[in-house]
């Protein structure tokens, strides 16, 4: 009986989505061309990787990815959070088991959400070439005035 009580309590406190899906997810990042620096913001420690790559992010984090490479325009992709089918089922499981605390845990950890888009794929746009300033034709200098004759 005691074991059943401990199991029931741990299910209620753990949160179904937190237990079944975890509080982190892998986010795949790629670009055309490859070899682009991707700076992932919104994490406890900002992370940089070179595409193609994958990073582990917390489900409740507000993530954005900045892509940058010499010769290309930088791009910023903000990721949104959506409740997915698996997350919704875990969250609803809290209702069936009476786990109001578990619902709170799932909501706080974002365990019922996934980041979108995933994978993150960008096509880099070449930078506009710097416009060369037209060189103005040089004006001829007037001839130097003759030196005054000192008459020596």
DSSP-H helix ranges across the chain: 2-14, 16-21, 85-96, 100-109
CA separation for the pair 12, 9 (Å, rounded)? 5
**Predicted local confidence at residue 12, as pLDDT:** 44
pLDDT at 85 > cutoff 50: yes
CB 31 within 8 A of CB 122: yes
Ranking 42-51, 66-75, 127-136 by mean pLDDT, the lowest is: 127-136
Please state, as a whole number, how many other Cβ atoms lie within 10 Å of the Cβ of residue 30: 15
**Predicted local confidence at residue 23, as pLDDT:** 82
**Predicted local confidence at residue 18, as pLDDT:** 44
């Amino acid at each position: 009986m005691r074991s059943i009580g401990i199991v029931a309590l741990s299910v209620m406190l753990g949160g179904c989505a937190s237990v079944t899906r975890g509080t982190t997810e892998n986010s795949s990042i790629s670009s055309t061309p490859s070899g682009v620096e991707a700076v992932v913001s919104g994490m406890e420690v900002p992370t940089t990787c070179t595409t193609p790559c994958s990073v582990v992010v917390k489900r409740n984090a507000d993530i954005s990815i900045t892509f940058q490479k010499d010769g290309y325009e930088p791009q910023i992709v903000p990721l949104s959070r959506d409740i997915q089918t698996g997350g919704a089922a875990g969250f609803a499981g809290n209702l069936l088991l009476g786990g109001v605390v578990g619902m709170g845990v799932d909501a706080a950890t974002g365990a019922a959400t996934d980041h979108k888009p995933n994978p993150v794929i960008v096509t880099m746009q070449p930078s506009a070439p710097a416009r060369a300033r037209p060189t103005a034709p040089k004006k001829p200098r007037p001839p130097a005035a003759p030196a005054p004759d000192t008459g020596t």
